[in-house]
Amino acid sequence: MPRISPISLVLAALATPLAAQVGLSGVQLPRVGGVLEQVGDLADNTLESTSRTARDLARDRLRTIDRLVRRNGDTIALDSRGEPARRGEVLLLDASADALAKAGAEGFVLLETVDLADLGMRVSRLRVPAGLELGEAEHALERILPSVTIAPDNLHFQSGSAGPVPLALAAAGSGAGSTPVGMIDGAPGKSVPVVATRGFAEGAPYPSNHGSAVASLLASEHPGPIRVADVYGTDSAGGNALAIARGLGWLVGQGSKVVTISLVGPRNAVLERAIAGARKRGVVVVAAVGNDGPAAPPAYPASYDGVIAVTAVDGKRRALIEAGHALHLDYAAPGADIRGINAKGKRIGLRGTSFATPLVAARLARALDRGRDWRSALDGEAEDLGKKGVDPVYGRGLLCGDCRGR
């Protein structure tokens, strides 16, 4: 009897006719940056109609995950919570030699131990014994090692669509910025000015439409040094928690004071510890709330403690109907009716919370450049929208309201 995924069962319960999914402006983007970017674009490109409901968006999220797992069953599986992760591997945090030996006695094979000294943590990557599903392996390790933190290597999705819509080129940022800013995403194309790009996935660095657009927005408002950690490359299981943690460790070690992450995934113990380690080093992490709608689960890394969670508005300063949510919300910024640069250096139209996030990161870096307390500076700049004061739609207010990208 064929195995039926839990996501398929949920989708069957939610089943209603769906409109055909088309690319932005009816043009399908070329394959760049691996299958996750393709699938992410496919999901995000369904979000142009403002009549979409939270139920539609929640169903689309499940369909996207289900399709991803079905198409990439050799590298991607569902974990014990039904979230996508790298197939056949689990992660242990700060496991002792004795713990690794116990796991080995049960058929788990140590693939590598990654020392992320700049984040104050160590991650062991284990191969799951043959015949065990990922969720079963998690539960088995929990019984064997009850005092060790165990996590699947969960995948994270890029949270915005980059459409081939020609638009006027806006002026890039000017001035002497000195605060180093890091970015975790796909790699930018050659036309986007960055100091360095390093790969943390198979085939990385590999030019990405999404990564190029995010980097171009960051560069348009931040004249200081930008470094990019490519966590996708051409890997069908790219965007995983360990890749992001490795990228974050590199950026922190290179001196980044602000890190922007336009990716969304489930809560993951490895990435949570990595971000906590970066914060202990004084690094501010800025992250998107995603585009899966208000009925989706809380977005991570935006929901981790101390992360600056960012949502998006359109050109009329209306909250995007598809914007997700985090356990807290800090600021809004333009995420539609703006433009950026794709991997081939062409000007493109953008939509999604992905593209609001680097604008907030740039404003934060500007405050640090001026020696100011960044929270006070951003709060002073933020334009209060919606209900007076902090609210769940716009957070503490709109930043960079006149920013329109490049």
Q: What is the pLDDT of residues 342-354, one digit of tens each?
A: 999 999 999 999 9
Q: Check residues 21 and 272 and name the one with the higher pLDDT.
A: 272
Residue 259's Cα: distance from chain center in Å? 12
The pLDDT of residue 54 is 74
29 falls in which pLDDT band (50, 70, 90)?
Answer: very low
The pLDDT of residue 57 is 82
User: Is residue 45 scored above 50 in pLDDT?
Assistant: no
Q: Check residues 316 and 174 and name the one with the higher pLDDT.
A: 316
The pLDDT of residue 5 is 52
The pLDDT of residue 58 is 79
User: Is residue 83 scored above 90 in pLDDT?
Assistant: yes
User: Is residue 61 scored above 70 in pLDDT?
Assistant: yes
168 falls in which pLDDT band (50, 70, 90)?
Answer: very low
Which residues are identified as catalytic? 185, 210, 354
The pLDDT of residue 176 is 53
Q: Check residues 290 and 51 and name the one with the higher pLDDT.
A: 290
- Average pLDDT taken over every residue of the chain: 86
Domains and CATH numbers, the chain: 78-154 (3.30.70), 157-381 (3.40.50.200)
pLDDT tens string 353-382: 999 999 999 999 999 999 999 999 999 999
pLDDT tens string 192-219: 999 999 999 999 999 999 999 999 999 9
